[in-house]
Amino acid sequence: MSNHSHDTLQEQDETYLYENNQEQLYIGHSHGTKEIWKIFWWLGAITVVDILFYFTFDENMFRNIVFIGLGIIKAYLIIGYFMHMKQERTDLIMSIILPIIFILWGVGAILKEGASHMM
């Protein structure tokens, strides 16, 4: 388990923090609840816009793009603020977001494939 048994006590403490008891890395600072409620109202408003668009526009590509666009905005708000992604290091953000961008490309590509051989 510990292969630093020959370290001095101080060095053992430091690397112990990073290898064995990594939860100490968590220094959660409370930022208050105002921002949380603000994001909640935004999410609610975007959902209402979603529903309004559904009833006022006919079924067409423009409407679908609006739905997907609003969904991406909601995802940005939830991931960024509720999951505190914005507070993480940039390279962690990229490690998670870049594969998601590839998924989104995949969604677009396969929807196009599906539409290309209509029944």
Partner 1 sequence: MSSHTTASSVPTEIWSGGRSPYNVSYGKLMMWVFLLSDAFTFSGLLIAYGSTRFSYGENITMPWPRPDMVFNHFPFFHHIHLPLFFVSLMTFILIFSSVTMVLAVEAGQRKSKADVSKYMLLTILGGLAFLSCQDWEWSQSIGDGARLDFNHFSLTKEGFEYANTLKLGHHYEWLDSYRMSGPPTFSALFFIVTGFHGFHVFSGVVINVITYINNKRGLYEKRGHYEMIEKVGLYWHFVDLVWVFVFTFFYLI
The residues that touch partner 1, with contacts defined as CB under 8 A, are 7, 10-11, 14-15, 17-19, 22-26, 28-33, 36-37, 40, 43-44, 47, 50-51, 54, 64, 67-68, 70-71, 74-75, 78-79, 81-84, 88-89, 91-92, 95-96, 99-100, 103, 106-107, 110-111, 113-115, 117-119
Structure tokens at 85: 């992604």
Q: Which of 59, 72, 74 is nearest to 100 (CA)?
A: 72
**Rounded distance, CA 65 to CA 82, Å?**
25
Pick 1 or 91: Cβ nearer partner 1: 91
| Amino acid at site 70 | L
Residue 6's φ and ψ, nearest 5 degrees, are -95, 5
33 contacts 25 by C-beta, under 8 angstroms:
no
Q: What is the closest distance, in whole angstroms, from the C-beta atom of residue 8 to partner 1 in the complex?
A: 9
Pick 1 or 32: Cβ nearer partner 1: 32
